[in-house]
Amino acid sequence: MSPRKKTKASPKNKKSASKPTATPKRKDAKGAETVACISETAKDVYKKIHKAQKPTLTLPVRSLSNVRYDARKGFFELGRSRKHRTLTVNTVKTFAQTLRLMGLSKEMIDHETFATKREAYYVSKNWEEAKFNEQAESDTVMDDIESMFSLRGVSREQLRFYPEEHGGAVAGNLVVIDKNPTTGRTATIDCTQMGTGAYTIPHSVEHLEFKTNAKFIIAIETGGMFARLQAHGFWEKSDAIIISMGGVPTRATRRFIRRLSDAKKIPVYAFVDCDPYGISNIYRTLKVGSGNAAHINQFFCVPKCRFLGVTPQDIVDYELPTHPLKDVDVKRAKDALSNDPFFKTHTEWTKALKMLVKMGVRAEQQALAKWGLNYVIDEYLPKKLKNKKSFLP
Amino acid sequence: MSPRKKTKASPKNKKSASKPTATPKRKDAKGAETVACISETAKDVYKKIHKAQKPTLTLPVRSLSNVRYDARKGFFELGRSRKHRTLTVNTVKTFAQTLRLMGLSKEMIDHETFATKREAYYVSKNWEEAKFNEQAESDTVMDDIESMFSLRGVSREQLRFYPEEHGGAVAGNLVVIDKNPTTGRTATIDCTQMGTGAYTIPHSVEHLEFKTNAKFIIAIETGGMFARLQAHGFWEKSDAIIISMGGVPTRATRRFIRRLSDAKKIPVYAFVDCDPYGISNIYRTLKVGSGNAAHINQFFCVPKCRFLGVTPQDIVDYELPTHPLKDVDVKRAKDALSNDPFFKTHTEWTKALKMLVKMGVRAEQQALAKWGLNYVIDEYLPKKLKNKKSFLP
């Protein structure tokens, strides 16, 4: 290694470790609302302590038993069970950590910045006795804060805790209106002009606005299929927006689809592999959310989403090459049939899943390539889109 | 499931299963060159058969033993060992499959399309006796074809076999010039105008052109760090292009960085975690390629890349929070020290790796957040960039 001057002095010169260096900026309405929420919660704690009472934080119970599914609302909703975290000798450290993380959140809104889970963990290294020893600890407290504020309609992204993963790739008849993060000037991203590439959804999408006349959004499981639709002008011919999920969609992808489809009243169609993973993990998560994180579903699920394919019936109709279902597939399908309120509510899904288990096979969306690489664009998708009523709910 | 008309007739009406429906388009120079290469190989086989001789295909041996490292050239090069596949009773099926996949490649160039590994496998389902039973079989034959043509400087992407994964996210002082895949009109992507989002590198980047005055490219391990640099105008202040690799960079990301840095003569700096995985798997792969796929390194490695950080010395200088090295980390570091021609050639790296093993710890790039979320932008990176000579080779 080449010799280098010691830079030891510099880190210690910092005044506040967690504080970003920029001066506070003007907050937008949503930021102000979030700060008000944090302050209110903190003031409650402060008041109780001054009255020599034990302060309490109220959190929703996060488990499948505290989840409701109402087909009309269309997503897994949090039930009414709550737990209360009261300040005691045993909870003092976690209690302090919760308040410090909330404080970090307020600081980040004030200074227009954010932290990933991992960064928040490292920031705590300067909190002396309140520091986290493992990232698992700070993740849990962050989940608590997220669920606590979700009761007031505030999402983790509004609290400025951003996911590590960005969102999927987007192309099609869509203009995204964002801001240059440093100058604040409008940035206009024309998703018709991405060539063979695409637009990457940012980590937080709350501030985005959209211009589009697209007739539908198609959410695609694999990057390869997205590339095919992009390369052969599918979205131009059918006036659509195409989005690559790359497996189970990230939070940013789900929130982007949700905000875009709500704002512009555009239907959403899912195009995934015909297997219990594609159906139950990818599609179900996109549409109704997940059971053990029900507090976030209000922000992230896309209840209007419908299932274009590949359906179990498609395997028969299109004579698709298949693979045998693995044990884990069969287990997943049977779990969905017996325990999942979403699949149990919709008889079309019950029939489809039973058919899949009975056939004992699965088919990938690329299996359509048996009939030609672009058969999916020239035949399959147009035929499907002519009969949208046949989409599974 | 809702009732639906049988669509059974349609798939069978197709004439050629593997043939895309569009009429042949005019090939670009690179496409013509690739087709010439394929035709020549096929004609050799054809001639031999007509002379009642056994046709032979020549492939490089793909193993670590057939790899050379020359620090001046800067990447893992394929050695001179070759194997020959002669048509016999035993090899007839693989031989036929190799020729059919080569034929598919030619067809795809003619019709301006492409196939992922998975799609190519499904296309073969219409090849009767030459069909592949498992995707692992078609993947192996595709790797053979790739290595065979690499001897003539033709890459897999030129053969139109595209990876499933697209490339990383890009932002900064860069304009990418692509074409609208259907109209052929120029698409100009201004990576300064992506707001908080980014540009996604397409699956194939061979045709892209670039406009930029950027002083350097910084290749970043994590999406979270990329988002921070993007959100706080790092690339504007330092006149740079930032690229998120998301772990070990995909083929598309590596090729994109290589083509861009070659075309515009821009230095490339890697910014990854300080652990044997970040150093040996991510950085080493980006810079010199991998040992067991040496036939592709000529296209994919970025020999001019240098290692900005996080270095083992940074852990000391910046008093970073660390985690203990796991057994697998120690094994990886020791393997690199004793077996890897790249690390063995550069004494700076030998020292750095030994120091890491001796300290017995690793540090993530987010560990800098201990000194403030934006310490990395305000202090660490500017200080590093003032002393580029200190970068590891």
pLDDT (tens digit, 9 = 90+) per residue, B253-265? Answer: 999 999 999 999 9
Q: Which of A207-216, B27-36, B52-61, B256-265 has the lowest mean pLDDT?
A: B27-36
| Averaged pLDDT for residues B198-204 | 93
**Residue B292 burial (CB count, 10 A):** 12
Percent of chain A with pLDDT over 90: 69
pLDDT, residue A14, reads 46
Distance of CA B128 to the CA centre of its chain: 33
Tokens of A126: 């300067």
> Which residue of chain A has the CA closest to B167?
A197
> What size, in residues, is chain A?
393
pLDDT, residue A26, reads 54
> Which residue of chain A has the CA closest to B182?
A233
Which residues in chain B have their CB less than 8 angstroms from residue A233's CB?
A: 181-183
Contact A196 B188 (CB under 8 A): no
Calpha distance A114→A152 (Å, rounded): 20
- The yes-or-no verdict on residue A20 having pLDDT over 60 is no
For residue A140, give every residue at least 6 positions away whose Cβ sits within 8 Å of its Cβ, in sequence order, or none: none
A26/chain B closest Cα distance in angstroms:
16
Percent of chain A with pLDDT over 70: 93
CB within 8 Å of chain A, chain B residues 145-164? 162, 164
For testing contact with chain B, the best of A189, A373, A390, A392 (most B CBs within 10 A)? A373
Q: Angle, to 10 degrees, between the axis of helix B135-150 and the axis of helix B29-50?
A: 100
| Averaged pLDDT for residues A171-183 | 93
Helix (H) or strand (E) holding A116: strand A115-116
For testing contact with chain A, the best of B8, B138, B373, B378 (most A CBs within 10 A)? B373
pLDDT digits (tens, 9 = 90+) for A125-148: 999 999 999 999 999 999 999 999
Which residues in chain B have their CB less than 8 angstroms from residue A387's CB?
A: 4
> Which residue of chain B has the CA closest to A221?
B164
pLDDT, residue A25, reads 55
| Averaged pLDDT for residues B205-220 | 96
* DSSP bridge partners of B310: none
Tokens of A67: 């989840």
Burial class of residue A236 (count of CB atoms within 10 Å of its CB; 0-12, 13-18, 19+): middle
pLDDT band at A27 (very low <50, low <70, confident <90, very high): low
DSSP B392: B
Contact B7 A383 (CB under 8 A): yes
pLDDT, residue A18, reads 46
| Averaged pLDDT for residues A342-366 | 95
pLDDT band at A355 (very low <50, low <70, confident <90, very high): very high
pLDDT digits (tens, 9 = 90+) for B12-51: 444 444 444 444 555 678 889 899 999 999 999 999 999 9
- Of B124, B213, B214, which is closest to residue B161 (Cα–Cα)? B124
| Averaged pLDDT for residues B306-332 | 96
Burial class of residue B1 (count of CB atoms within 10 Å of its CB; 0-12, 13-18, 19+): middle
pLDDT, residue B17, reads 42
Burial class of residue A90 (count of CB atoms within 10 Å of its CB; 0-12, 13-18, 19+): exposed
Helix (H) or strand (E) holding B68: strand B67-70
| Averaged pLDDT for residues B57-72 | 82
Q: Which of A54-68, A194-208, B329-343, B359-373 has the lowest mean pLDDT?
A: A54-68
Q: What end-to-end distance do the CA atoms of chain A give, in Å? A: 61
**Residue A86 burial (CB count, 10 A):** 13
pLDDT, residue A7, reads 43
Burial B27-47 (b: 16+ CB within 10 A, else e): eeeebeebbebbeebeeebee
B48/chain A closest Cα distance in angstroms:
31
pLDDT, residue B68, reads 83
pLDDT digits (tens, 9 = 90+) for B108-142: 999 989 999 999 999 999 999 999 999 999 999 99
pLDDT, residue A11, reads 52
B369/chain A closest Cα distance in angstroms:
5
Which residues in chain B have their CB less than 8 angstroms from residue A20's CB?
A: 372-374
Question: What is the overall mean pLDDT for chain B?
Answer: 89
CA distances from B375 to A269, B309, B371, B386 (A): 43, 14, 6, 16
- Residue B150 · residue B295 · CB < 8 Å: yes
pLDDT digits (tens, 9 = 90+) for B127-183: 999 999 999 999 999 999 999 999 888 999 999 999 888 779 999 999 999 998 888
B211 has a chain A CB within 8 A of its CB:
no
pLDDT band at A9 (very low <50, low <70, confident <90, very high): very low
B59/chain A closest Cα distance in angstroms:
28
Question: What is the overall mean pLDDT for chain A?
Answer: 89
Contact A16 B188 (CB under 8 A): no
Q: Which of A160-169, B69-78, B125-134 has the lowest mean pLDDT?
A: B69-78
Closest partner CB to B195 (pick from A189, A222, A236): A189
| Interface TM-score (ipTM) > 0.85 | yes
**Residue B334 burial (CB count, 10 A):** 14
Q: Which of A191-195, B26-30, B248-252, B370-374 has the lowest mean pLDDT?
A: B26-30
pLDDT, residue A305, reads 96
CA distances from B376 to A98, A283, B184 (A): 25, 38, 42
pTM of the model: 0.89
Calpha distance B42→A266 (Å, rounded): 50
pLDDT, residue B11, reads 52
pLDDT, residue B26, reads 54
Contact A193 B195 (CB under 8 A): no
Which residues in chain A have their CB less than 8 angstroms from residue B193's CB?
A: 180, 187-189
Which residues in chain A have their CB less than 8 angstroms from residue B194's CB?
A: 178, 187, 189, 199-200
Which residues in chain A have their CB less than 8 angstroms from residue B228's CB?
A: 113-114, 119
A101 has a chain B CB within 8 A of its CB:
no
For testing contact with chain B, the best of A7, A138, A381 (most B CBs within 10 A)? A7
> Which residue of chain A has the CA closest to B204?
A196
- Which residues of B are identified as catalytic? 122
- The yes-or-no verdict on residue A3 having pLDDT over 60 is no
Q: How do B115-116 and B161-162 pair as beta strands?
A: parallel
- Complete DSSP assignment for B248-305: SPPHHHHHHHHHHHHHHT--EEEE--BSHIIIIIIIHHHHH--GGGHHHHHHH--TT-
| Averaged pLDDT for residues A67-86 | 84
Q: Which of A179-183, A365-369, B196-200 has the lowest mean pLDDT?
A: A179-183
By three-state DSSP, how is residue B198 classified? Answer: strand
Contact A317 B194 (CB under 8 A): no
Which residues in chain B have their CB less than 8 angstroms from residue A229's CB?
A: none
Closest partner CB to B196 (pick from A165, A169, A181): A181
CB within 8 Å of chain B, chain A residues 247-286? none
- The yes-or-no verdict on residue B291 having pLDDT over 90 is no
- Residue B266 · residue B260 · CB < 8 Å: yes
Rg of chain B over Cα atoms, rounded to whole angstroms, equals 24
| Averaged pLDDT for residues A347-352 | 96
Contact B227 A202 (CB under 8 A): yes
Q: Which of A96-110, B24-38, B138-152, B338-352 has the lowest mean pLDDT?
A: B24-38
**Residue A276 burial (CB count, 10 A):** 25
CA dihedral (B237, A11, A97, A290) in degrees, to 10, reads 40
